[in-house]
Structure 1
Amino acid sequence: MLFPYKFIEHNICRLNDWIEFLFIEVWCKADEEYSLDLLNGCPDLKKVAEEEAWKEDSSKKPNDYITGPISVIYDLFKTELDVKQRKNLRKKFRKSRNLEKVLSHSKYYDVLENTYIESLSPILAKKLYEFYSNLFDNVLKLAVIKDKNGTLKNHYDAFVKINTTGICPFCGINTIRSYEMAGHEAYDHFLPKEKYATYSINFKNLVPTCHDCNSIHKLRRSPIFDFKVGQNLRAFYPYSQNALDIDIICNVNIKNYKDYGHRHITINFKGKSRFEQDKKICLI
């Protein structure tokens, strides 16, 4: 990134808080018969689950993205994982929530990958992936959620009123829509949900980007791990409040302008920050 975004607090972010409560205080403590009373510690989530409960009847057509999946996943936590596994998963989930420290691979903080859950239970991993994917793709669009927390467009309009550069921070080339324009830019999952599903609704992992960066260049690439060579990468936190101490050096070596190509350009970087010690850094 060329510059960080400023994070904004917005009602829409509450959904992630509700789901974190669900994971930590309900699913990872699954040891009794499931009931909606287990959600008493998060009244807002319980109310949403109650209002959506009628969709559990598949004959009524609308898709059930909340109430049924919550109970199904609860039962899988209880039957697929033993007490120690649930405890360890709860601990790992907690350690994964500070995204800034996760991106820099700080000690005591670790990313929660889909493959880790898969190693415990493939069926649980599958159901969790479906649930978290639907949170962003479908649950945010439900009337009950929009009434309580607002819409992505509401969030985007508030976001670009604070982040006023008007330029995509990933490429520094393309503009992004202002709040006065119809629609909004795509929200890139900085940690892609295909590999890290539990971050799918975390707005500290959701960053508006231009079409080219989101749909052509980054795609499902992980900013913290190079899967081809099996090497960790450190990534810049999109909402960092710390200035980036990085110098980007571009060298152009052209003897014949008619024979110009990418091979004639080299880009390197250096800096005094902790990133200088790393062999590889993700610059997306």
Structure 2
Amino acid sequence: MNNYVIVSDATFDLPYDIIKEYDIKVIPMGFHIDNVEYSHYPDERELSIEEFYSKLKAGAVSQTTQITPSIYMDFMGEILKEGMDILYIAFSSGLSGTYNTSQIVLRELQEEYPDRKIYTIDSRCASIGEGILVLNAAQMKRKGLSIDELREWVEQNKLRARHWFTVKDLFHLKRGGRISSIEAFVGTALKIRPVLSTDDAGKLVVISKIRGSRAELDFLLSKLEAEGEDLASQTVIIGHGDDLEQAKELETMILGKNLVKDIIIAKIGPIIGTHTGPGMLALTFMGRKCE
């Protein structure tokens, strides 16, 4: 029944202990900072997340790279050689060409391994939005779903992954072309934080703008209350860009209302952190879209 593995990419930002617990296979993703190239692995073997943010705070500029066809070929090929099928839940095609690259490579691998099942799913999510989808898929797999059943479940439920985040350092969004230089300057000076999510096409969108840290926390909590479904049985994820104190504050607010079964606090890694900068705060859960 379970002779398959769930694969995702290092942008999904699940904590390493969760990845090990559910035996999720993770493709490393590349970035370079201070003229040094790194691959980001969940165990942070090449550069710790804390050191990455320290470099950003010191003025370093980071850039990310897509997963190359050769990395896909080698990583997936090793799994297939072991006689396992693959369900790959990928970084949003609305934010990266990574998913499209995977489609090309995995078609080649399917020809080489015609007896193996190789499925790819565009998560339409990023960071812990992708992570909450992968986590729920892993939990469903543990319940005994076949790869075909789980593939169908993920496709039917991926748009239920609700993900909301705020950004403090707007100049990182400016470099990515999400906001203008004037918006970045004025917003940073006035401590205005954009609230972002991804739309149904997996593209990043600015939903609202708020001012101050308390407003961030209240907004994220309100989204959980308004959009969350069956919260009492859910594990939700709080993500932070090197601001554990604020993440803990949001956790306390959620626990104080006795809303959810469990909370995971995750560090936002360098692949997403390159574009959101220090101080990002995110909350993800399974729910419904409220108009």
After TM superposition, the score normalised by the length of structure 2 is 0.26
- Higher Cα Rg: structure 1 or 2? 1
Q: TM-score, normalised by structure 1?
A: 0.27
